[in-house]
Amino acid sequence: MSITLKNKIINKKARIAVIGLGYVGLPLDVAFAQKGFRVLGIDTDAHRIGRIQNLESYNADVSNACISRITRQKVFSVSMDFSLLKDVDVVIICVPTPLKRKYTPDISFIVSAVRSITKYLHKNMLIILESTTYPGTTEELIKPELEKSGLKAGKDFHVAFSPERIDPGNKNFVVTKIPKVVGGLTKACSQLTGLLYSQIIQNVHQVSSCRAAEMTKLLENSFRIVNIGWINEIAQMCNALGIDVWEVIDAAKTKPFGFMPFYPGLGVGGHCIPEDPLYLYWKAKHYDFSCKFIKLAADTNHNMPAYAVSRLQEMLGKSFKNARVLVLGVTYKKDVKDLRKSPSLTLIELLQKYTRVDYYDPLVGFVKLGGLDIQSIDLTPAIVKKYDVVVVAVDHSAVNYDLIYKNARLIFDTRNVYKDKTDKKVVKL
Ligand SMILES: NC(=O)c1ccc[n+]([C@@H]2O[C@H](COP(=O)([O-])OP(=O)(O)OC[C@H]3O[C@@H](n4cnc5c(N)ncnc54)[C@H](O)[C@@H]3O)[C@@H](O)[C@H]2O)c1
């Protein structure tokens, strides 16, 4: 282990740079700054950099006051200039890892970030990848790219993978409260990386390799996609059998061991669950291995908005065409503003082919769909009365569900917000 870098970390003298200031990178960068490290944030998005330089946060988990404070304390700065990396000891990469086509990883953001680092790589530097990716990325892609500098990984500089597990909007588990898994190229790389994160996170768990750390994250995300896919299938089965799936889940979860509840809905959204497990599916194919569970779950979740449309067709019968539908909630999950891959938006797009659809979301004033800006309606009794059916797509806390219940003609509840209503006005997923 590099004694110099080790001491710098312990004495909070190590300079840290985070590349990619999104949902993951910004809170992480801020967490190190709050512990007194001098941190730099680099992003290619001029708009984001401009906002932070104006002391304005675009992330609900980081307040404007916090950005002002750490900027004033001169421990936090942001830039688009990668040459600043020449004075940095630790670089943490938090760039996006989307899918290119259906089920094919797009690692171009990682490649681009690593190429920028390579230009300024110097001895004793520690490079950590946090972006979720397939097992092998750190060793097969990042290491050779960095070694183009002429320096040797594991000897001249250190490399590790440490998956980010943040759950944006979750106040109970902010970045510093979530245990961190670390896997280095060498034991020394792991130890240095573990030491670094232990400055801001209490529980650091070391694994034997970068691959094991990469796989850990994909196991976690695949666990979620598979169980959500499974419960969505169960929900469809229960409907066919005339059983209330929500009642069954509530009963099953009284078992104090061996069962963990997952809940049905319109599918999965956001940047992680719909995409990350498919990195594993893609990688396994190179080893002639077919991840059947992941593929099946992804397809099942993907089809949930279409299933919801078929249920609405059933509910409304002939009046389905030209019906007026109000969709409640457009984000990909409860109480966050994030629209990425939201299955509620897919539902709206599918419904637009047959019906007149409006939406209400207390967090999102307007959305762009099919090139058009659509505004959230005002939630008043008179307006709710106009719709043939209200679809509860997202169970945001800040919604007056009583007002809707009292005024709606029919409700399709995909989130069980009307758990206690047993009359025919409410139809559950
Ligand atoms: N959002 C989550 O809840 C979450 C949770 C755990 C892990 N992850 C993983 O973390 C990674 C980042 O996700 P995110 O949600 O923060 O993404 P994001 O899109 O919110 O932010 C990524 C940022 O990286 C910047 N960027 C892209 N290419 C760059 C480059 N070459 N150099 C500098 N900046 C660049 C973008 O401009 C953007 O600001 C992904 O791999 C994701 O799967 C996300």
Q: Which atom of ligand 1 is nearest to the CA of 95?
A: 24
Question: What pLDDT sits at residue 370?
Answer: 79
Q: How far is the CA of 45 from the centre of ligand 1 (A)?
A: 11
pTM, to two decimals: 0.92
Amino acid identity, position 336 = V
- Options 94, 189, 210, 272, the catalytic residue: 272
Question: What pLDDT sits at residue 69?
Answer: 97
Q: How far is the CA of 93 from the centre of ligand 1 (A)?
A: 9
| CB-ligand 1 contact for 95 (6 Å cutoff) | yes
**CB neighbourhood size of 201 (10 A):** 16
Q: How far is the CA of 376 from the centre of ligand 1 (A)?
A: 28
Average pLDDT, consecutive stretches of 10 residues, N- to C-terminus, the chain (429 residues): 87 97 95 97 98 94 95 97 98 95 90 98 98 97 98 98 89 91 98 98 97 98 97 98 97 97 96 91 94 95 97 94 96 92 96 94 92 92 97 97 98 97 94
Q: Can you tell me the distance from the alpha carbon of 69 to that of 387, in angstroms, rounded to the nearest whole number?
A: 48
Q: Which atom of ligand 1 is nearest to the CA of 130?
A: 10
| CB-ligand 1 contact for 132 (6 Å cutoff) | yes
CA quadruple 335, 341, 93, 183: dihedral, nearest 10: 90
| CB-ligand 1 contact for 105 (6 Å cutoff) | no
Residue 250 CA neighbour count, 13 Å, CB half: 8
Q: How far is the CA of 85 from the centre of ligand 1 (A)?
A: 19
| CB-ligand 1 contact for 361 (6 Å cutoff) | no
Question: What pLDDT sits at residue 44?
Answer: 98
Q: How far is the CA of 163 from the centre of ligand 1 (A)?
A: 12
3-state secondary structure the chain: CCHHHHHHHHCCCCCEEEECCCCCHHHHHHHHHHCCCCEEEECCCHHHHHHHHCCCCCCCCCCHHHHHHHHHCCCEEEECCHHHHHHCCEEEECCCCCEEECCEECCHHHHHHHHHHHHHCCCCCEEEECCCCCCCHHHHHHHHHHHCCCCCECCCEEEEECCCCCCCCCCCCCHHHCCEEEEECCHHHHHHHHHHHCCCCCCEEECCCHHHHHHHHHHHHHHHHHHHHHHHHHHHHHHHHCCCHHHHHHHHCCCCCCCCCCCCCCCCCCCCCCCHHHHHHHHHHCCCCCCHHHHHHHHHHHCHHHHHHHHHHHHHHHHHCCCEEEEECCCCCCCCCCCCCCHHHHHHHHHHCCCEEEEECCCCCEEEECCEEEECCCCCHHHHHCCCEEEECCCCCCCCHHHHHHHCCCEEECCCCCCCCCCCCEEEC
Question: What pLDDT sits at residue 171?
Answer: 82
Question: What pLDDT sits at residue 1?
Answer: 63
Q: Can you tell me the distance from the alpha carbon of 322 to that of 320, in angstroms, rounded to the nearest whole number?
A: 6
Q: Whose CA is nearest to atom 15 of ligand 1?
A: 23
Q: Which of 30, 131, 162, 164 to mutate to test the pocket of ligand 1 (most atoms within 8 A of CB)?
A: 164
What are the structure tokens assigned to 311, written together? 């249920």
| CB-ligand 1 contact for 48 (6 Å cutoff) | yes
| CB-ligand 1 contact for 327 (6 Å cutoff) | no
The answer to whether 66 is a known catalytic residue is no
Using a 10 angstrom Cβ sphere, with 0-12 exposed, 13-18 middle and 19 or more buried, the burial of residue 111 is middle
Q: Whose CA is nearest to atom 18 of ligand 1?
A: 22
Using a 10 angstrom Cβ sphere, with 0-12 exposed, 13-18 middle and 19 or more buried, the burial of residue 147 is middle
| CB-ligand 1 contact for 43 (6 Å cutoff) | yes
Amino acid identity, position 314 = E
